[in-house]
A and B are shown apart, each in its own frame.
Chain A
Amino acid sequence: MGKILELRNITKEYPGVKALNRVNLEFYSGEVHALMGENGAGKSTLIKIISGAIKPNGGKIIFEGKEYDEMNPVLSQKLGIGVIYQEFNLVPELSIAENIFLGRKLTNGLTINRKLMNEKADELMKSFGIDVDVRKPVKTLTVAYQQLVEIAKTISNDVKVLIMDEPSAPLTNREIDAMFEIIEKLRAKGIAIIYISHRMEEIFKISDKVSVMRDGEYVGTKLTKDTSRPELIQMMVGRELKEQFPEAKSEIGKIVLEVKNLSTPTLLKNVSFHVCEGEILGLAGLVGAGRTETARAIFGADQISSGEIYVRGERVQIHKPQDAIEKGIAYIPEDRKKHGVLLEMSVRENTSFIALKKISKAGVVDKVKDKKLAEEYIDKLKIKTPTMEQLSKNLSGGNQQKVVLAKSLASDSNIIIFDEPTRGIDVGAKQEIYHLMRSLAKEGMAIIMISSEMPELLGMSDRIIVMHEGKVMGEVSGKDATQELILEYASGGYGKEEASNEN
């Protein structure tokens, strides 16, 4: 099919930074065109220019043969350019149907034709293979469903070009497959899809072409079938980067944390497992399997209804996060910005935050110790920041993640629970996080890693337990650890009640 959108010499400058430098790209109808690049490569800037959210300093945007110097949001929408951003634009209090038809009128004269709206929304969701009550408020939905509502909202607008910015980030594998089916349908309808993602598997599964950007420059475009992972990675980082996980495993020592029959009022049922010194225990499962709930229950962030927790053989009572922290347990949450890093505080204030009481005398923080902690961890974790006084909100995702980690390490934690440690972090920073995790394990720490990324689970874990609907379904390690087996357990397969947790 024909060319629908072309970018010619698009340039965008911010004071001191060239965010985009003479970028040329072409997009065709009925094609899934993946856009890759590390964080800061200019992908987001580029799509904002296409959607008209920001204006370029130079270059032309050619849409269906017509030249534009710049877009604006109203024009791009009128032309049929739809964008699904990483942050959703949904109104949580409104229903699914109301969100899908937000800003467009389906009226009976003066009043909204709610019946028609609900019918149309229902039809749309059903076409995605999803059966859901469209009158339910969006806030009651899981992130995955919200994502689908966002897609439905965008394509109900008769788009010709659909831009998806990391659409799979909040989804589990099964949900991603469902989304891919939707993308296939849209492609068949002749829509041009621009698909931005960090995940290689997805790119190879769904895209026809891949374009790579680096430091605001266009690097090149490949037909997906003619390229390979290493080639794309090399294009992205500009050098050969060894994939992917630190080789040497650490020495596994005594059991440090043991959980017995942990249950919560809402989800968990008799969850039992243990983790040892020097071990990285992977926690696999689909969204809603209860992995985050397990972590939060151990950490005292949520109440448990029954169960026992042992730290170094001793039974402990954990009712609130303070209790867990005192026992040396740290939790690095999934949603960094919401639960992890204190955005309005500096790197220094974040680093010492959990350890504050320990470095205070008569309630007054010891400034020297405060600075020393920050210095130590900026150095140890290689946090890239101009100074320790930099506000955390100005750091990149990978460095924010390191700040969260610094906060926990500075308070002498030795059992660390990582919840999706590399979500939304680019390739280079991922490597660093992996090496950090492994070197912490080598220092004798016990690590629990919740992850939805299969390569990460398989590459990092010494042992993996798999959860499904609040239960532990099985445990895999060594040669047994295969993607297929984990998925089988994760989807509730093999009918096993609970795997034996004794070594």
Chain B
Amino acid sequence: MKINEFVKKYSTVILLLAVVAFFSIMTDSFLATRNMINILRQVAVLSILSAGMTFVIISGGMDLTVGSMLGLTGVVCAKFIVELQIHPVISIILTVLLMTLFGTLTGLLIVKLHVAPMVITLGMMTVARGLAYIFSGGIPIYNIPEGVVFLGQGKIGPIPVPVITMIIIVLIANYVLNNSYYGRYVYAIGGNEEAARLAGVAVDKIKVSLYSMSSFLAGIAGVTLMARISSGSPQSGTGMEMDVVTAVVIGGVSISGGKGKIMGAFLGALIIGVLSNGLTIMNIGEYYQQVVKGIVLILAVAFDTYTNTDRVKKVKE
């Protein structure tokens, strides 16, 4: 493999290593094992959402609802458990199921109304946030039982539960996208929807399933987040959708669809996590962090575009 091919293929890994190297040199505490595990815990919710978003964006779609879904999930689940006194396990299953249905509805609207996913999910994002405030009365619901809190704060051995959840989901998502026919259909829809349709792909059904899946994962992420902050807060996940899109795009997933990998998006989420963590250790404030994240996003995508610009030679007959 030539050097430029290598750089192209592993650009996200190289970027991650560069960021890690930078913080390791600049600070003493960054590279500590404890901090590494801490970073993983911090990016768990982001990574779970990124997995779903990767599918959606590869199909040529967009799901802006995921941030609001975190809030809605937390409120609904907390309400079931705390106020309606439903068994926590049943509450969680019920909540995730409801969120999945919400995603199905989003998908159906996109497919049936022929309106751009960006617009429909923008609308549904506002709806979901509104519902979260309505159900909670605008204030967080506390008193989440210990067993549930374990899902967000507990550890199995040295590893936090959210990290385990994240690893399981990322691995499954990666396997499905790479090895199932469903995954290949998703690429085809994003690459050329009409060609996929003419090849017998049930395009509409798959699209609906994608938004259902994204919301299903948002449900799981939402429960994790609720457990981590020990409350169902209607404000949870505000603006999170943009972090998710940023992670996915940094990870090399093409915003116009058809191209990308789950592992890329996962690396993208890690890069964001490492940046937040490292900059915080360096005592750089939240406001500056936003500027840095924005610049990294632009650089990562510009680099990707640069290395991918038609330098492929045509194969002659």
Contacts and interface: CB of A to CB of B under 8 A. Distances in A.
Contacts of B191: 342-345
Given A320-B202, A331-B198, A338-B195, 10 more contacts: A14-B313, A15-B313, A325-B199, A338-B194, A339-B194, A342-B191, A367-B179, A384-B317, A394-B312, A396-B316
Contacts of A320: 202
Contacts of B187: 344-345, 349
Contacts of A428: 317
B315 A384 contact: yes
B181 interface: yes
A344 B317 contact: no
B199 A363 contact: no
Contacts of B293: none
B182 interface: yes
Nearest to A393: B312
A342 B188 contact: yes
Contacts of A253: none
Interface in B173-207: 176, 179-182, 184-185, 187-188, 191-192, 194-202
Interface in B294-317: 312-317
11 contacts: A16-B313, A339-B192, A343-B192, A353-B199, A356-B185, A363-B176, A391-B312, A394-B313, A394-B314, A411-B200, A428-B317
Contacts of B179: 364-365, 367
A342 B200 CA distance: 13
Nearest to A362: B180
B197 A301 contact: yes
A390 B316 CA distance: 13
A407 B196 CA distance: 12
Contact of B180 (A14, A40, A331, A365): A365
Contacts of A324: 200
B61 interface: no
The 5 A-B pairs at the shortest CB distance, nearest first, are namely A356-B181, A325-B200, A344-B191, A322-B200, A363-B180
Interface of A: 14-17, 38-40, 299, 301, 320-322, 324-325, 331, 333, 338-345, 349, 353-354, 356-357, 360, 363-365, 367, 384-386, 390-391, 394-396, 398-399, 407, 411, 426, 428-429
A353 B188 contact: yes
A346 to B, nearest CB: 11
B317 A426 contact: yes
B315 A390 contact: yes
A349 B184 contact: yes
B261 interface: no
Contact of A344 (B181, B258, B313): B258
B259 interface: yes
A320 B176 CA distance: 26
Interface residues of B, number: 28
Nearest to B259: A344
Interface of B: 176, 179-182, 184-185, 187-188, 191-192, 194-202, 258-259, 312-317
A81 to B, nearest CB: 25
Contact of A398 (B181, B185, B259, B317): B317
A407 B317 contact: no
A339 B198 contact: yes
Given A322-B200, A325-B200, A396-B316, A339 B181 contact: no
B128 to A, nearest CB: 30
Nearest to A357: B181
Contacts of B258: 344
B184 A356 contact: yes
Contacts of B201: 322
Given A353-B188, A357-B181, A363-B180, A342 B315 contact: no
Contacts of B176: 363
Nearest to A396: B317
A39 B317 CA distance: 8
B181 A396 contact: no
A40 B317 contact: yes
A385 B199 contact: no
Nearest to B182: A363
Contacts of B202: 320, 322
B199 A429 contact: no
A12 to B, nearest CB: 14
Contacts of B312: 391, 394
A363 B181 CA distance: 6
A200 B181 CA distance: 45
Contacts of A15: 313
A390 B259 CA distance: 15
A321 B315 contact: no
Contacts of B184: 345, 349, 353, 356, 365
B317 A354 contact: no
A399 B314 CA distance: 12
A244 B191 CA distance: 36
Nearest to B190: A344
